[in-house]
Amino acid sequence: MNLLLQQKAPIFEALKRHKGNRVVPFDVPGHKGGRGNKELTEFLGENCMKVDVNSMKPLDNLCHPTSVIREAEQIAADAFGAEAAFFIVNGTTAAVQGMIMSVCKTGDKVIMPRNVHRSAINALVVCGAVPVYVNPGVNKELGIPLGMSLEEVKKAILENPEAKAILVNNPTYYGICSDLRGIVSFAHEHNVKVLVDEAHGTHFYFGENMPVSAMAAGADMAAVSMHKTGGSLTQSSFLLCGEGINPQHVRQVLNLTQTTSGSYLLLVSLDVARKNLSLNGKEIFAKTVEYAEYARQEINKLGGYYAFGNELIDYDCIFDFDPTKLSVHTRNVGLAGIEVYDLLRDEYGIQIEFGDISNFLAIISAGDRAMEIERLIASLSEIKRLYGKNDKSGMFDHEYINPEVVIAPQQAFYSDKKSLLIKKSVGQICGEFVMCYPPGIPILAPGERITEDIVNYILYAKEKGCLLTGTEDMAVNNINIVERV
């Protein structure tokens, strides 16, 4: 990384020049620097509204950058150790889909774990690639999916020599990492591209003593959510490319779906966040780890809860662990993770990232304060005392159910479908998604067999208060099933 180069922020500098030039706007957006929407300007601030601008020559164009955006991309590539970097303003969803659609076309096989984000399976619906699922390991005590075993990956590649790519989560939502270097080495020996969903791994590039990043491991492409742990605005991300990837082709693929009206608020947030992490990332993430480790230790002292960490590492399905993740198992206090989530929010004014059937996740960053960490710990202690149950009977004990894929996602999604009560759908083929959001990992994806176990899981998640999404029926009572295969 060139630290002298990293001190620059071309988009930020161009926007400051534009703001100082007092240009009269006869272009979009119609709020004209905020003058046309006073209430919004009062809420967001005049500075924000004045730099919410459209593409123009001095500010470059996201779809075909030749000046300040192009320079910012090159600096970002240097920061991440990539050959090329793309600014993404459609969320990491667009980056994940851009990766898959850049290397796969209709009928091509792509190997992936089933616990991928819905964006990956959406990409298959759009481009027609066919998934070959490697079931992740499962920790039955915690009820969570793990990483992919290197042996399972090797088996999948050898059994599917025509596969174009493999997609790897690095890390999972819970902080679990697979053997990324081992996967890259074996995949490349067999001419398989390695695509990495690093939505939760920005800090791997800038912190010390972190799990290996995708680019450092030699992966071909990586989707990095700067907004999750990197400090940029929500919906902003980077798509990174390694050697052997044609960046001009990737840009063409991205331009199929990414907006032609790229938000300069998102672009400048990426530019400034990258600069901040390049110059200060070691200190930022050292503080983050310190907070997370302290919280883990104190929560484990409460009894019942289990804030898990690197003690889980087995160099197989748990090859490494993200030390910034505060993932907490709750079933031993007689509460589902989503119940603890709701109690923290409604009774204690604490918003955590998500709660599922057995666990919750709190995102820790250097932006937190020690007193807030203490408040979280104290609140969990009180929740255990006031709401904990000794009787765990009737609690669902696993988060991941192995799917049976009957037909490809694209075929199922575009097939003739009919709506059935979820309770009466056992044995049918699913024609849409069902998932808890967050994290957005499908319980069911188009083309998969609906089983009794899956139906029970959906009904239990709904009963416990998980936000279920993906179905055409907004009440999630019915599900669309494929009429004819």
* Cα–Cα distance list, 1 to 76, 117, 180, 243 (Å): 10, 30, 22, 17
Mean pLDDT score, 479-485: 87
Rounded to whole angstroms, the Cα distance separating 339 from 360 reads: 9
Answer whether residue 485 shows pLDDT above 80. no
pLDDT on residue 397: 60
Nearest to 184 by CA among 220, 130, 148, 238: 220
> pLDDT > 90: what percent of the chain?
84
8 Å CB contact between 161 and 188: no
8 Å CB contact between 397 and 433: no
User: pLDDT tens digit string along 328-382?
Assistant: 999 999 999 999 999 999 999 999 999 988 999 999 998 999 999 999 999 999 9
pLDDT on residue 394: 62
pLDDT on residue 109: 97
User: pLDDT tens digit string along 13-24?
Assistant: 999 999 888 888
Dihedral sign for Cα atoms in the order 200, 206, 207, 212: positive
- Residue 432 DSSP symbol: S
Looking at 220-336, list the stretches that DSSP marks H as alpha helix, in order from N- to C-terminal side: 226-229, 247-257, 264-301
Nearest to 318 by CA among 185, 166, 208, 174: 174
Q: What angle do CA 343, 347, 351 make, to 5 degrees?
A: 65
The sheet carrying 84-88 orders its strands as 84-88, 237-241, 221-224, 193-198, 165-169, 109-113, 130-134
What domains can you pick out in the chain, each with its CATH number? 3-278 (3.40.640.10), 285-387 (3.90.1150.10), 409-482 (3.90.105.10)
**Least confidently predicted of 209-223, 306-320, 441-455:** 441-455
8 Å CB contact between 105 and 129: yes
Rounded to whole angstroms, the Cα distance separating 12 from 46 reads: 16
The continuous run of DSSP H or E covering 420 comes out as: strand 417-421
Residues facing 419 on adjacent strands: 480
Place of tokens 């006031």: 386
Looking at beta carbons, which pairs linking 16-21 to residues 24 or more positions away fall under 8 Å? 17/58, 18/51, 18/53, 18/58, 18/59, 19/47, 19/50, 19/51
Answer whether residue 308 shows pLDDT above 90. yes
Answer whether residue 140 shows pLDDT above 90. no
Mean pLDDT score, 156-177: 96
3-state SS class at 197: strand
Give the largest CA-CA distance in the chain.
68
User: pLDDT tens digit string along 108-137?
Assistant: 999 999 889 999 999 999 999 999 999 888
pLDDT band for position 163 (cuts 50, 70, 90): very high
pLDDT on residue 115: 86
Answer whether residue 398 shows pLDDT above 80. no
pLDDT on residue 396: 65
* Cα–Cα distance list, 361 to 307, 354, 372 (Å): 10, 6, 15
Rounded to whole angstroms, the Cα distance separating 120 from 122 reads: 5
Average pLDDT of the chain, as a whole number: 94
Nearest to 448 by CA among 405, 483, 416: 405
Q: Cα 282 from chain centroid?
A: 22
Tokens representing 485 are 């295969």
User: pLDDT tens digit string along 73-92?
Assistant: 999 999 999 999 999 999 99
* Cα–Cα distance list, 271 to 103, 175, 228, 232 (Å): 27, 26, 15, 8
Identity of residue 118: R
Say if strands 109-113 and 130-134 run parallel, antiparallel, or are unpaired.
parallel
Say if strands 325-329 and 176-177 run parallel, antiparallel, or are unpaired.
unpaired
Cis bond before residue 171 (omega within 30° of 0): yes
Nearest to 90 by CA among 219, 289, 223: 223
